[in-house]
Amino acid sequence: MNAKENSSDDVDLGQLFKLIGNAFSACFTLIANIFKNVFHFFILLLQFIRVHFYKLVLAVFLGVIVGGVIDHNALPRYRSSMIVQPNFNSVQQLYNNIEFYDQLAKQQESKALAEALHISESAAVDVKKVVISSFSDQTQRIKQFSEFIQELDSVSQKQVHYEDYLKNFNDINAKFHKIEIETTSPGIAKKCQKAIVTSIENNEYFKLQKDINDDNIALRDSIIEQQQKEINDLQEFYKRIKVLEAKKPDGTTSINLAENKSDQVSELELLDHEKKLKDEKIKLNNEKANTKNTINIISEFPNKGALINDFFAKKIVLTPILFVSVLFLTLIMISLNKYLAGYN
């Protein structure tokens, strides 16, 4: 009986090893076929280039000539950038305004663009592009996540993770934003700065939000000052009591506040509360400075924009790529048409 069981186990193990071997063999065969097909495709591509080599070279040559002529005749472009910090949830309106300016520039609506940016119509003609993007790094995102967590209750804090916060992070959530203007005249961007900022500041909703924020800061400031005054009065009271006790003649019954533990705790609590009030005052002053304007300008537009000299943005580079791509697709379509015509 044992011999039969051992024989059956050997057969099962043999079949198992055979199945594993077949699986490995199939896997290696699949990988080999993939490499063969990739190599075959690469050879076909080389053959195609070999047959049409002179045509492709001619396309590159023509593209370089055409692109060079376009670059030579094109007006130089200048790029200016400004870093801003929107307050009171005004970032969405800012993005909408910038997109509106960009559409007017692309559609060459110089009159409407001149009215929107408060510049002359001739200057508006020179505006070619207006874009905005978020300006944040890993450190700023971690800091924003920390501020976001502090506003939540203890239960919600445990349910929110940094990875989840990053997945939902977008341009609107960023603290700083970069506005870029491309023009054919170097000094136009500076003239547009005031109009871009005031378009947000003159909004009635954001005006109301700023007024309410200013009132709240003033109220909190007065409360802190009142509390600081009360603490100073209590400290002066403790000092006067100690002076009076020190002047009493020997042998009289007195209570020394310095030796009374409950009073010592009270004085320490006063000092601790005074320190917290000072920290809160510093925090409030920073908030007051950061929310003084609806749009904080971190870095203004320069008086003169920087000349755009991106190599890969030049027509002398893009035009040959376009010509070769069009020629390549055309030749592919011709070859495919011949193949389909002869296909049985």
Query: What percent of the chain has pLDDT above 70?
Result: 89
Looking at per-residue confidence, does 179 or 73 come out higher? Answer: 179
pTM above 0.85, yes or no: no
Tell me the mean pLDDT in the region 85-109: 93
Residue 343 has pLDDT above 70, yes or no: yes
Are 63 and 323 in contact by the 8 Å Cβ rule? The answer is: yes
pLDDT score, position 261: 47
pLDDT score, position 252: 53
Are 195 and 116 in contact by the 8 Å Cβ rule? The answer is: yes
Tell me the mean pLDDT in the region 289-305: 91
- Give the Cα separation of 56 and 45 in Å (integer): 13
Are 95 and 172 in contact by the 8 Å Cβ rule? The answer is: yes
Give the Cβ contact number of residue 171 at 10 Å: 14
Tell me the mean pLDDT in the region 198-223: 92
Tell me the mean pLDDT in the region 115-127: 93
pLDDT score, position 216: 92
Tell me the mean pLDDT in the region 294-303: 92
Looking at per-residue confidence, does 150 or 69 come out higher? Answer: 69
Tell me the mean pLDDT in the region 131-159: 76
The ranges assigned to domains in the chain are: 2-71+318-341, 75-205+297-310, 208-293
- Give the Cα separation of 335 and 79 in Å (integer): 45
Q: Enter the tokens of residue 278.
A: 């000072």
